[in-house]
A and B are shown apart, each in its own frame.
Chain A
Amino acid sequence: MSQLQPYVDCKVSVVMNDGRLVVGILRGLDQTTNIIMQSCQERIFSEDEAVEVVDLGLYMIRGDNIAIIGLVDEVVDAALDLDSLRGEPLQP
């Protein structure tokens, strides 16, 4: 758990067990990797349309449903042109 301490207050990208990708600022976490994220955005990819971004606000996600937590490089993320990104959505 302490391995995620450095990520607190940073922008993180969370992949969930059902294949959803959520990006937000990590505010808190605990022993079972439940996390609190602020200003969440869910990014939905598809092969035909532009990336769909859904604003979610303050979220608490339970640890059993988290597959990956990754630190987001803000520079690279800002440079992403979401309109032109295409991709196949992740499977559960």
Chain B
Amino acid sequence: MLPLSLLNAAVGFPILVELKNGETYNGHLEKCDNFMNISLREVIQTASDGDRFWRLPETYVLDKVKEDMLKNRNMGNRGGRGGRGRGGNVGGRGGGHTGGSQTGGGRGRGRGGNKPSLHKDKSSSTMANKKDFLDELRRQLKQRTQQQ
């Protein structure tokens, strides 16, 4: 089975994403694309040393390390956690830290750049990712402004 098809099949399920710098993101997979950029909701970010942050807005991730499909195992736990409630509290921090989804364009790019995960050997495919990622974000931003 292809990894990308598994990823597409996992849309809507809770997953754990680990990045190259060791940070882990727990959240529901909202979207993914052929470059394996992913979009998560209700995300809990955990730094590599175990400190926790809450993040309510949508999170865009480029260049991941590995993903763990939590799926059925964690469905029940997630419901009970009430992460959403606490997410609201730290909205300020979340907003400052990551840059919300709404202004996804610049911030999203910034997130990608901040991470040391954009590896030393940046291949040409990563650049292609970024260009398409920007186009995609511009498109989404346009859609959202039109909706408003």
Interface: B65 (CB within 8 A) = yes
Cβ of A60: which chain B residues have Cβ within 8 Å of it?
Answer: 3, 6-7, 66-69
With a cutoff of 8 Å between Cβ atoms, the chain A residues found around residue B1 in the complex are 27-28, 36
The range of chain B's interface size is 10 to 19
Interface membership of chain A positions 22-59, coded 1 if the CB is closer than 8 angstroms to chain B and 0 otherwise: 00000111100011100000000000000000001111
**A59, B67: Cβ atoms under 8 Å?**
yes
Residue B86, interface by CB 8 Å: no
**Does B71 touch A at the CB level, under 8 Å?**
yes
Question: When A and B form their complex, what is the total count of cross-chain residue pairs whose Cβ atoms lie within 8 Å?
Answer: 49
Interface residues on A, range: 10 to 19
A6 to B2, CA, bound (A): 15
CA distance in complex: A62, B90 (Å): 31
Complex: how many Å from CA A36 to CA B6? Answer: 8
